[in-house]
Structure 1
Amino acid sequence: MSRHSFDPEIAGRVGLNAAVIFQNIAFWIEKNQANRRNFRDGRYWTYNSISAFGELFPYLSEKQIRTALEKLVSAELIIKGNFSDDRYDRTCWYALGNSICPNGQIDPTEREKDAFASEGKPSAPEGKSYKNRYKPYQKPNPSHAKAAVEDEISEKILSAYPEDRIRGKAVCLSQIHQALADGVDAKELEDAVRTYATETEGFTRSKVCFSDNWFSSGRWLKYLHDVEEARVSSKVKEAEMLKGLAGWVTDRHPLCRHITPGQVTALLAANLVSPAEIEAAGLRA
């Protein structure tokens, strides 16, 4: 069962919604710092899209999530960035802001403060050392950055599993990596894990499979199939609904006034009606 928490002091500054989201962002930044991943411009980062936040916080609307993130940025609790290799990828990256973490790190230790450690020491982020301290900064190898993103995705998928039944983390992550490499959609795999977690929520712990067995034995495939079936069923229902709306438009039915702008866009994208028919029905394209 997923539990969300927040810092009362943060909530007092930016509100409850923003405080809960901040706690999640800080958690992943701390995890990335511990694993020395996603280090950019002197800070550790995590990333997420608005829709992904919506999955994590189903009780918040997209508007509430956007507003919460804007409050966190305005309060300098977080900063935003974009480090994707794909220029069309608008997924936002987040790091801790100066108002709460001047050094861009969580509780930095003496070892982590040494940006230019002795040659060969792991405390030098991105491979910096006294030997190369005067060289211009070089961005990490794209393949390394991609691997770091994949690691974070796998961690998020595993974190959806019942927390007290996670075992053999390395085995689990290896199985998740393999599934993603075989073409399994990360979002659908995460949904499959969440479905199992929800299904077994009321079970005694002895009835809930350990995560390493669950992934290794392929039990996740059943839940992945269920997710796929639900997705297909949803698409079929959506298509049927759009056909019904298209009938309203062509007949200029009085109920056309209830058609939303988003539905108008979907009708046009599916070529079920023409812009002229939309206009004739009193709607805006």
Structure 2
Amino acid sequence: MSRHSFDPEIAGRVGLNAAVIFQNITFWIEKNQANRRNLRNGRYWTYNSISAFGELFPYLSEKQIRTALEKLVSAELIIKGNFSDDRYDRTCWYALGNSICPIGQIDLTERENDAFAPEGKPSAPEGKSYKNRYKPYQKPNPSHAKAAVEDEVSEKILSAYPEDRIRGKAVCLSQIRQALADGVDAKDLEEAVRTYASESEGFTRSKVCFSDNWFASGRWQAYVEKQAEDREKAAALQADHQARVACWIRDRSPMCKHITPTQVTALLASKLVTQIQIEAAGLRA
């Protein structure tokens, strides 16, 4: 059974899924460089289709694989190309990006260089190690890690939208990030999306707004405001109930027998009653 690994620093930068795929891409690029294969434009490449990645990583959906590859390209950890002679072949090729290999190739030490055979000759002798052949990049700027987390949050919020009405993903994510930057709570925004998805579940598709229009027009705001109003009403009802229970305790009402220890603790914490009043009413926390 194959085992999949990843670099924790890269995972912090682009997420776990992308880090696992990056490890696989790096392995095959190193192998191709060792065997002097797939050298194009000064870089060594490997290639794979989305479906092939799906076979390698059966626990990832096609959408997750595409998102992971997009993150790796955006972070300049890899670059994409297409070197097929068949113009209908859309299989993507991948090389290490500028944040790993700014000069276009894996940076070898003198000791590691002797593991390579001359062009056209058999590859390095058995026992030579090709691990860690690229220099590790500098620890990422904390802002990069923060951006990666924000991207994951934004992706999660967008994924709550009716899947077949998602359009203009880049616009949607930009609008979501802006809302979060303006102080909207991520959980509130996600709940707003889920509420709309639930409300529109029985609609014909033509009646469900495309996601880019929904976010750009700020239609989520009404749902977020409704959530805030509901919380305020719930808080007011809770405060009113606590005030009535506190009166029972202060008056030593027969209703005190219905008061639970949890309620007593909450009343003490809110300072609506004192410990002496609690004891006088025959209660304990």
- TM-score using structure 1 length: 0.54
Of 186-195 and 167-176, more deviation after overlay is shown by 186-195
Q: Is the contact between residue 245 and residue 259 of structure 1 (CA under 8 Å) also seen in structure 2?
A: no
> 2: distance between equivalents of 1:46 and 1:282?
59
Cα distance in 1, alignment partners of residues 7 and 242 from structure 2: 45
Name the larger-Rg structure. Answer: 2
State the alpha-carbon separation in 2 of the partners of residues 159 and 215 from structure 1.
Answer: 13
Cα distance in 1 between the residues matched to 2:28 and 2:253 = 68
CA apart distance, 1:191: 1.4
- What one-letter code is carried by the residue in structure 1 that aligns with 2:160? A
Q: Which residue of 1 aligns with 2:8?
A: 40
Within 1, Cα distance between the matches of 2:13 and 2:220? 30
- Amino acid corresponding to residue 268 of structure 2 in structure 1: L
1:109 aligned counterpart, secondary structure: helix
What is the percent sequence identity of the aligned residues?
A: 54
CA RMSD of aligned residues (A): 4.1
In structure 1, the residue matched to 2:190 is: 190
- Distance of 1:126 and 1:252 partners within structure 2: 75
Q: How is 1:68-83 mapped onto 2 (pairs within 5 angstroms)?
A: none
Quote the residue 1:165 is aligned against.
165
The amino acid across from 2:144 in the alignment is H
Supply the AA of the counterpart residue of 2:145.
A
Paired residues in the alignment total: 194
**1: CA distance, partners of 2:210 / 2:276:** 58
TM-score for both structures, normalised by structure 2: 0.54
Change (3 A) 1:39 1:164: farther
Contact 1:115 1:125 in 2 (8 A): no
Go from structure 1 to structure 2 and tell me whether the alpha carbon gap of 1:136 and 1:220 turns closer, same or farther (over 3 Å shift). closer
Q: CA deviation at 1:40?
A: 2.2
Aligned to 1:234: 234
Q: 1: distance between equivalents of 2:26 and 2:229?
A: 50
Which amino acid in the other structure matches residue 24 of structure 2? T
Are the aligned partners of 1:256 and 1:281 in contact in 2 as well (CA < 8 Å)?
no
Contact 2:268–2:275 (CA under 8 A) maintained in structure 1? yes
Task: Please list, as runs of the form range in 1=range in 2, the aligned pairs for 1:135-284 lying within 5 A after superposition.
Answer: 139-250=139-250, 251=252, 253=254, 255-256=256-257, 258-261=259-262, 263-281=263-281, 283-284=283-284
Structure 1 Cα separation of the partners of residues 277 and 255 of structure 2: 14
Shift of the alpha carbon at 1:279?
A: 4.5
Q: Is the 8 A contact 2:261 2:284 kept in 1?
A: no
CA distance in 1: counterparts of 2:136 and 2:203, whole angstroms = 56
Query: Counterpart of 2:201 in 1: which secondary structure?
Result: coil
Q: AA paired with 2:26?
A: R
Q: Is the 8 A contact 1:168 1:212 kept in 2?
A: yes
Taking a change above 3 Å as real, the CA distance of residues 190 and 253 of structure 1, as seen in their structure-2 partners, is: farther
Q: Matched residues in 1 for 2:181 and 2:270: separation?
A: 32
Deviation of 1:156 after TM superposition, in Å, equals 1.3
Is residue 172–residue 215 contact of structure 1 (8 Å, CA) maintained in 2?
yes
Distance 1:244 1:109, change over 3 A: same
Aligned ranges for residues 59-138 of structure 1 at < 5 Å?
105=20, 109-111=24-26, 122=78, 127=99, 131=107
Distance 2:29 2:261 in 1: 56
* Alpha-carbon distance, 1:211 to partner: 0.5
